Each structure stands twice: as C-alpha cells, then as structure tokens.
Structure 1
Amino acid sequence: MQFRREKKVGPTVSLQESLDTGKDDSALTLSDLLQDTACMEETCEKKDDASRLRSLIEALPARERQLVLLRYGLGGQPPLTQSETAQLLGISRSYV
C-alpha cells in the first residue's frame, strides 16, 4: 500500500534542494522560487483591525449596533439588504 501511495504522489522533494546554479555559482532552490503567502505582518494587522472594529461597534448605542450587525452580517449571520434590515427594525429604508 505504501508503494502505491508513493507511486501516485511521487518522490518527496526538499525545499532546500538545489535546482540550478546561477552565474556566480550560487544555488537556486525551490524555496527561492515559491512565494510566502502567509505574511505574519498582514495577519497581525487583520487581527488588530478586527479587534478594533469590534470595540468600536460595542461602543455604539444598542439600536445602531444592531443595525450595523444586521446590515453587514457581522454577528455571524449573512448580511441583510437595506430593505430587510429596515423591515426587521421597523424603520424606513432611508434610515438604514
């Protein structure tokens, strides 16, 4: 069974394995060619932004907080249209 799995997947390749040698005899590796998509700085900024947004929403009066949560789907529910939000809150669509 292990043999079949290896045959389907192929050999394991190291990210540090040399692919080519440049003009100045520096080795080009697979890790040099792959882009790092998990940027720690961006992740931290997004978490910080989300935390700040939560604290700002919590500071709103209850009715406005409910409107924002319903309209933009921030309470774990899908966002509602302007008309749906107005109908749920019993207000005119222009107030949403």
Structure 2
Amino acid sequence: MKTFLAPLSQAEEKEYLAQLKNGNVQAKEELILHNMRLVAHVAKKYLNSDEEQEDLISIGTIGLMKAVSTFDRDYGSRFATYAARCIENEMLMYFRSRKRTKNEVSLYEPIGTDKEGNQIHLLDVVENEQRDIVEDVENRQLIEKIHKGMKKALTPREYMIICRRFGLYGQKEATQREIAKEIGISRSYVSRIEKRALNKMKKVISE
C-alpha cells in the first residue's frame, strides 16, 4: 500500500499558500504532496466502481492540482475543504465521460447495403437526414412567410379565392366557374380577382 506524507498543520498550510501566492513553485509541490492522503480518502468512495484505486488517485490528483492553482483564502474555507470538492468533481467528470463513451455508436459502422451492394454507414444516413431536416425547415419557413404575407396583403375575398383555386390550407381545389357560382359573381370577375391576388403574392414572395 502506498504511503503518503502527513497532512500539513494549519500554520504550515497557511505559510505554503502565502509562498504560492508569491510564485514559489516548491510551495505548490509541497501542498500537493501533503494532500495526497485527501485524494486517497475521496477515491475510497468510488472503489466499488470498475476503476482501480491507482487510476482514481491519478484522476483525483488532477483535481488536487487544480485546487492548488485556483484556491483563494478569501473564499472563507480551509484549503482541504476546497480541495476535496475539486478532487471529487474531477472524478465525477471522469465517470460521466466514461459513461458517454460507452454509449457512443461509431458513425462509420456499417448498417446495411444499397441497391448496388455498396455499404451504407450510419454517417450517410445521419447526413441525409440532416439535409432533409434543413430543407424541410426552410420549406416550412417559406410557406409560413407566404401564408402570413397572403393574409396581410390580400383582401378576405382575394384570400378565399386563392385558397379555393389552389386547394390551400385545407380548402378543396375548385375551378373559377365553381367559385363564381358559390359567391354569386361572374367567372371573369373571379379571374380578375385571382390575377390581382397573384400579383400581390409575387411581391410578398420576392421581399
């Protein structure tokens, strides 16, 4: 079993921290070496995991080094308290990273073949899906823009005639003659309204 140096007294810790603040590299090393027992103590909490104690101590030491570099006595807590949090955070980040890695699927993993017998990889499917999603979003945005523009630019009658003529927004497609009969005007008048409305819509789309 590895033997670690004894913890520093409060006075020694205070002195080394003061030296560290003045750029003393040796003080930094002493703070790390004399707090390795703290790393081992925190590591014991995770010994039921798949990780070996030596690995956990190595990971925890990184957290300890960060604690030494970032500790400020103005925090109002003892260095050991602050360091213990940094050590544990480093271990938890490591475990989260390992969990993500285990759940990852290679984008280059073959998932089948196409009609010509070529291998299809997951990356091919993802890229195609992403392109389809982008195109779908762009089309939806354009349709929404046209719809809003129609309602803003067209009169209620123009809007109704365009929707009926082209079967838009749940309306059943109808001929000019059918629309004329429904609203009691001539077919030629429906044609003029339709032409005027389409000209307005062209301006909306081009904006």
Number of the residue aligned with 1:85: 179
- The two structures have a TM-score, normalised by structure 1, of 0.59
AA at the equivalent of 1:68: I
Shift of 1:79: 0.8
Uncovered stretches (5+) of structure 1, i.e. residues with no partner? 1-14, 20-27
Structure ID, larger Rg: 2
Counterpart among 144, 149, 158 of residue 51 in structure 1: 144
Segments of 4+ moved more than 6 angstroms: 32-35
The 5 Å alignment of 1:7-46 reads: 16-17=109-110, 29-31=119-121, 36=128, 39-46=132-139
Distance 1:80 1:45, change over 3 A: same
Please identify, of 28-37 and 60-69, the stretch whose mean Cα deviation from structure 2 is larger: 28-37
Higher helix share: 2
Distance 1:61 1:33, change over 3 A: closer
Number of the residue aligned with 2:157: 63
Q: Does 1:72 align with 2:166?
A: yes
Shift of 1:80: 0.7
Shift of 1:36: 2.4
Are the aligned partners of 1:16 and 1:29 in contact in 2 as well (CA < 8 Å)? no
Q: What count of residue pairs does the alignment treat as equivalent?
A: 74
Residues in 1 aligned to 2:179 and 2:168: alpha-carbon distance in whole angstroms? 13
User: Identity across aligned pairs (percent)?
Assistant: 28
AA at the equivalent of 2:110: E
Shift of 1:53: 1.3
Residues in 2 aligned to 1:74 and 1:18: alpha-carbon distance in whole angstroms? 40
SS at match of 1:30: strand
Uncovered stretches (5+) of structure 2, i.e. residues with no partner? 1-107, 113-117, 191-207
Number of the residue aligned with 1:11: none
Number of the residue aligned with 2:67: none
Residues in 2 aligned to 1:18 and 1:72: alpha-carbon distance in whole angstroms? 42
Shift of 1:57: 1.7
RMSD of aligned residue pairs (Cα, Å): 2.9
